[in-house]
């Protein structure tokens, strides 16, 4: 059984039923067939922040995200000491001339490395962390 971590883009596209999410991936998440899909509270925090900034709109707000994830049997990973240890050891990379210091991204990356999960993400910065142990499925 594989364990996949859903990044912020993927959770947003999933709960908003966006056509940006590949239909095969959507079906795999909704009907996992033995695989397990998880996300974290930091993804929810980032979505809350993006809603407050007006960058995304979620009908029903963040509460609707929680309810949707529960109905899809998507679990919430807790941030453990092991995640903090990996976060502390993972360098802040310079990507395309800018520091990648986004806390949420870095916690998601550290979580996936620490728990040996495959991260499903659309973020173009994430592939740079493969050399530090990130398993990534680009969506």
Domain boundaries, the chain: 3-138
Predicted pLDDT of residue 61: 86
Predicted pLDDT of residue 96: 94
Q: What predicted TM-score, i.e. pTM, was given to this entire model? A: 0.92
In the chain, % helix, strand, coil (3-state, to 5) comes to 50, 15, 35
Beta strands in the chain (DSSP E): 3-6, 36-40, 75-77, 94-95, 98-99, 118-121, 135-138
pLDDT in tens, the chain (139 residues): 899 999 999 999 999 989 999 999 999 999 888 899 999 989 999 999 999 999 999 888 888 998 999 999 999 988 899 999 999 999 999 999 999 988 999 999 999 999 999 999 999 999 999 999 999 999 8
What topology is assigned to 3-138 in CATH?
Rossmann fold (3.40.50)
């Amino acid at each position: 059984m594989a364990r996949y971590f859903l990044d912020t883009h993927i959770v947003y596209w999933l709960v908003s039923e966006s056509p940006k999410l590949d239909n095969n991936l959507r079906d795999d998440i909704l009907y996992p067939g033995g695989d397990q899909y998880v996300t974290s509270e930091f993804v929810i925090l980032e979505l809350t922040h993006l809603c407050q900034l007006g960058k995304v709109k979620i009908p029903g707000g963040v509460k609707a995200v929680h309810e949707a994830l529960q109905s899809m049997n998507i679990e919430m990973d807790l941030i453990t000491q092991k995640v903090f240890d990996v976060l502390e050891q993972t360098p802040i990379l310079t990507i395309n001339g800018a520091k990648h210091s986004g806390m949420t991204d870095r916690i998601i990356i550290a979580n996936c490395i620490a728990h040996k999960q495959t991260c499903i993400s659309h973020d173009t910065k994430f592939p740079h962390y493969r050399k530090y142990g990130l398993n990534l499925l680009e969506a």
